[in-house]
Amino acid sequence: MVRGKLILIEGLDRTGKSTQCENVVNALGNDAVLIKFPDRTTKIGQLINQYLTDKDFELPAQSIHLLFSANRWELKEEIHSMLKAGKHVVLDRYVYSGVAYSAAKGIQGMDISWCFNPDKGLLKPDLTLFFSNSSNMRDREGFGEERYEKVEFQRQVRDTFFNVFDQIKDSNRIVIDVSDKSIDEVFSEIKPLIHDVINKELGECVY
């Protein structure tokens, strides 16, 4: 049995990640499953959801950071089994969001290396597409409803993502500029990249 591939789409809020994840999964048909992080359906995920949606529900930055990571660990074995069974797993956010959103808070001691530590040992994607946009996230419908959806903080997260990419080396990561591009244009751009990774023979990798 040839193992499935782990494909990650990352980026700021409202850059079209979820739409493209669905496009990719639909294009791959029965051979693919979509997993979105945070997975808000688990016990840990419910706490994370409350933190994101209820501004009166406070947690220390370190605690929520570890919960996001714990949420990924909860699903590690499930993802591993699916890959072994030949399914492709498409991830909507993962480790890089985990590190960038937390490190962007600028809290003393919570630097990139501290933030990355709890994720060490998780499966490393065969392909990571990072959706980058220069502006216009405020225009997206619904923006501002959840914690972190503030233009100024998003700018900090954007810069932090690129610092994360400097520190956590990954030759399978590609930046896609989605500014002013339609859903179809972005999909045409990523389709060949997905096709390539699906057809490659690769060993398994962990962070």
| Residue 13 sits in the site that holds Mg ion (CB under 5 A) | yes
- The piece of 97-105, 164-172, 177-185, 198-206 that touches ligand NYM (CB under 6 A) is 97-105
User: Considering beta carbons, is residue 10 or 126 the nearer one to Mg ion?
Assistant: 10
Residue 165 CB, nearest approach to Mg ion (Å) = 20
73 lines the binding site for ligand NYM (CB under 6 A): no
The answer to whether residue 93 forms part of the interface with ligand NYM (CB under 6 A) is yes
In 38-96, the DSSP E strands lie at: 88-92
**Virtual torsion, Cα 64, 79, 99, 155, nearest 10 deg:** -100
| Interior angle at CA 40, CA 56 and CA 53, nearest 5 | 25
Binding of residue 97 to ligand NYM (CB under 6 A): yes
DSSP single-letter state for residue 124: P
Question: In the chain, at which residue ranges do the beta strands (DSSP E only) sit?
Answer: 6-11, 32-36, 88-92, 127-132, 173-177
User: Does position 160 bind ligand NYM by CB under 6 A?
Assistant: no
Site string for Mg ion, 74-103 (x = CB under 5 A): ------------------------------
> C-beta of 10: minimal distance to Mg ion in Å?
12
Tokens of 47: 């706490």
